Amino acid sequence: MCAFIVLALTGLGLYSKAFFGLTSVFGGVAMSRTIHHFTGLVFIATTLLIFFQWLKDYTAAGEESLGDVISSNMGRDYKGPPSGKLDAGQKIFGYKVFILGLIMGVTGIAMWFPDFLGRGMQQWMYFLHNFVFILFMLLMILHVYMGTVANPGTWRGMSRGTVTKKWAKKHHGAWDGEEV
């Protein structure tokens, strides 16, 4: 997550002349580029690590229907089957981050070393990096909203590593987490 924030801020400073002031925060354009490149490598590595670390939970078979998924994500009264460690929305989010994150990584590396692809393909790399970032940004707005304001008790799961029993019962009824 920290890598993502650093990447987003350095990337914005580099992308848009309107946001160029952000580069001063990181010590100038050249430093912003360097930080962006190496943080990007960290981002690729951690995206792969987290996805494969939790692969079992991402691929755990769920019995939720599409209607359940929508009601769980957007509504308050969820009537579908109880979720395990990851509910349906989290699994979908996980796949999205994995795929979009890898696209950002691949296009980013192509932008860092632009001489290895054909000219036309290289030009599309710039566009894809930008377009996928916009998708990512939309995902993050939703993710931050759902993880903080929309579902009280969730943020501490990331900041502290634990959640309350009541929260676990309501949101992840079929989860067998350890009691602390």
Partner 1 sequence: MIVVDTSKCTACRGCQTACKQWNNLSAVRTVNRGGYENPPDLGYNTYMKIRFNEMEAGGEVRWLFGQDRCMHCTDAGCEKVCPVPGAITYDSNGAVVINQNLCTGCKYCVFGCPFEIPRYDSANKEGFGKDKAYKCTMCADRQGMGMAPACTKTCPTGALTYSDKAGLPAVAAKAKKAGMTVYDGDALSTNVVFLLEDNPTAYGLPANPAIPTPIYLWRTVMKPVGVAAFVLGVLATIAHFVTVGPKEVEEGDDAPSSSPCQGGGDSDVSSSH
Residues that bind partner 1 (CB under 8 A): 14-17, 20, 29-30, 33, 74-76, 85, 114, 119-120, 122-124, 126-127, 130-131, 133-134, 137-138, 141-142, 145, 149-153, 157, 161-171, 175-180
Q: How far is the CB of 4 from partner 1 (least distance, A)?
A: 16
Please say which residue, 98 or 175, places its beta carbon nearer to partner 1.
175
Q: In sequence order, which residues have a C-beta less than 8 Å from that of residue 166 and are 6 or more positions away?
A: 153
Please say which residue, 61 or 176, places its beta carbon nearer to partner 1.
176
Please say which residue, 15 or 51, places its beta carbon nearer to partner 1.
15
Q: How far is the CB of 65 from partner 1 (least distance, A)?
A: 19
Backbone angles phi, psi at 163, to 5 degrees: -130, 165
What is the rounded CA–CA span in Å between residue 172 and residue 42?
31
Please say which residue, 11 or 105, places its beta carbon nearer to partner 1.
11
Q: Checking phi first, is residue 153 left (phi over 0); if not, alpha (psi -120 to 50) or beta? A: left
Which of 123, 111, 69 lies closest to 91, judged by CA?
69
